[in-house]
Amino acid sequence: MLIYLIGFMGCGKTSIAKRLANKLNFDFLDMDDMLEKEYHITISDLFLKYGEEVFRKLEQTVLQKTLSMVNTVISTGGGNPCFKNNMKTINDNGISIYLQLSPKMLIHRLENSKKPRPLIKKIPEEQRLKYIEELLKEREKFYLQATHIVDGANIEIPEIIKLLEI
């Protein structure tokens, strides 16, 4: 079984995926980490040197590699489900869970994140909320195709396990 956690950057995909994998005794994979290890470059440097289009192509390649895995909880990149028919690939091969958060909650988490966020780094602070609202609006049509949609602010691992009917 493959379980993909999807949602906007900063919604908690990685931390929840780790905890869920641990509870289910599944493997855990963070697609961004896999991409960085495989291509020997950070996401930030990849964006700077090659741009978003190259990043999205490499991200799709990483997604394809997850399809042969078993009993794995996978944290996708925030934009991954929104490009190159990736959401269909995810749903055709596993269970997807959208961790939904409000733009205000996302901006709070992103501004306090230890992890660099290339997509918002270039946006002036006073324009970030508007940027996140617009980008989330574009992406949510993909996220809402998830098998399950959960409140990312209040979700607990036992609730996710109930949804999965395992």
What pLDDT score was predicted for residue 114?
A: 75
The CATH number given to 2-160 is 3.40.50.300
* Mean pLDDT of successive 10-residue stretches along the chain, which has 166 residues: 96 95 97 96 90 93 97 96 95 98 91 73 87 95 97 90 82
120: number of Cβ within 10 Å: 20
pTM, rounded to two decimals: 0.93
134 by Cβ neighbours in 10 Å (0-12 / 13-18 / 19+) ranks as exposed
